[in-house]
Chain A
Amino acid sequence: MPESALTGTRIRERRMARRMRQSELASRVGVSPSYLNLIEHNRRRIGGKLLIDIAAELEVEPSLLAEGAEAALIARLRSAAESAGEGAEMERAEDFAGRFPGWAQLIASQRRRIGALERAVETLNDRLAHDPHLAATLHEVLDTVTAIRSTAAILADTREIEPEWRDRFHRNINEDAQRLAEGAQALVGYLDAGGDAETEVTAPQEEVEAFFAARGYQLPELEEGRASAVEIVEAAEGLASASARAQAVALLERWAGDARAMPLSRVAEMVEEMGPDPLALAARMGGDIAMAMRRIAALPGREAGLLICDGSGMVTFRRAVEGFALPRFGAGCPLWPLYRALARPMVPLYERLGQAGRGGAGVERAFGAFAVAQPQGMPKLGKSPLYEAHMLILPDQEGGEALTTVGATCRVCSKPDCAARREPSIMTEGF
Chain B
Amino acid sequence: MGKHVLLIEDEPNIIEAISFILSRDGWRVDTHSNGQTALAALRDKSPDMVILDVMLPGMSGYDILRGIRDDPATAELPVLMLTARGQIKDREMAERIGADKFMTKPFSNAEMLETVRAMVAG
Residues on A facing B (Cβ under 8 Å): 135, 138-139, 142-143, 145-151, 153-154, 157-158, 165, 168-169, 172, 175-176
Contact = CB atoms under 8 A, between A and B. Distances in A.
B17 A142 contact: no
A139 B105 CA distance: 9
Given A143-B11, A145-B106, A150 B17 contact: yes
A172 B12 CA distance: 9
A158 B23 CA distance: 13
21 contacts: A135-B85, A138-B84, A139-B55, A142-B84, A142-B85, A143-B11, A146-B84, A147-B13, A147-B14, A149-B106, A149-B108, A150-B17, A150-B21, A151-B13, A151-B16, A154-B17, A154-B109, A157-B109, A169-B20, A172-B16, A175-B13
Contacts of A154: 17, 20-21, 109
Contacts of A168: 16
Contacts of A165: 20
Given A147-B11, A147-B17, A154-B17, A139 B85 contact: yes
Interface of B: 11, 13-14, 16-18, 20-21, 24, 55, 84-85, 105-110, 112
Nearest to B20: A154
A150 B21 CA distance: 9
Nearest to A153: B109
B84 A150 contact: no
Nearest to B109: A153
A343 B98 CA distance: 41
Contacts of B18: 150
Contacts of B11: 143, 146-147
A158 B55 contact: no
Contacts of A176: 13
B102 to A, nearest CB: 15
A44 B107 CA distance: 63
A146 B85 CA distance: 12
A153 B110 CA distance: 9
B105 A142 contact: yes
B84 A139 contact: yes
Residue from B17, B105, B110 whose CB has the most chain A CB atoms within 10 Å: B17
Task: Determine the main DSSP class of B at the interface with A.
Answer: helix
Contacts of A150: 14, 17-18, 21, 106-109, 112
Nearest to B55: A139
Nearest to A135: B85
Contacts of A175: 13
A165 B16 CA distance: 10
Given A138-B84, A154-B17, A154-B20, 18 more contacts: A135-B85, A143-B84, A143-B105, A146-B106, A146-B107, A147-B11, A148-B106, A149-B107, A150-B106, A150-B107, A151-B13, A153-B108, A153-B110, A165-B20, A168-B16, A169-B20, A172-B13, A175-B13
Nearest to B11: A143
Contacts of A143: 11, 14, 84, 105
A148 B21 CA distance: 14
B91 to A, nearest CB: 15
A99 B11 CA distance: 68
A176 B14 CA distance: 10
Of A145, A150, A172, chain B has the most CB atoms within 10 Å of the CB of: A150
A119 to B, nearest CB: 24
Q: Which 7 A-B pairs have the closest CB atoms?
A: A150-B17, A142-B84, A147-B13, A146-B106, A146-B105, A139-B84, A172-B13
A127 to B, nearest CB: 14
A330 B26 CA distance: 50
Residue from the set A147, A153, A169 with the largest chain B CB neighbour count within 10 Å: A147
Contacts of B105: 142-143, 145-146
Nearest to B110: A153
Count chain B CB atoms within 10 A of each CB in A145, A146, A151 and give the residue with the most: A146
A138 B86 CA distance: 12
A355 B17 CA distance: 56
Nearest to B16: A172
A148 B84 CA distance: 14
Contacts of B14: 143, 146-147, 150
B53 to A, nearest CB: 9
B54 to A, nearest CB: 9
A169 B108 CA distance: 16
Contacts of A145: 105-106
A175 B18 CA distance: 17
Nearest to B106: A146
Contacts of B108: 149-150, 153
A226 B85 CA distance: 49
Given A139-B55, A146-B105, A146-B106, A151 B17 contact: yes
A145 B16 CA distance: 14
A142 B106 contact: yes
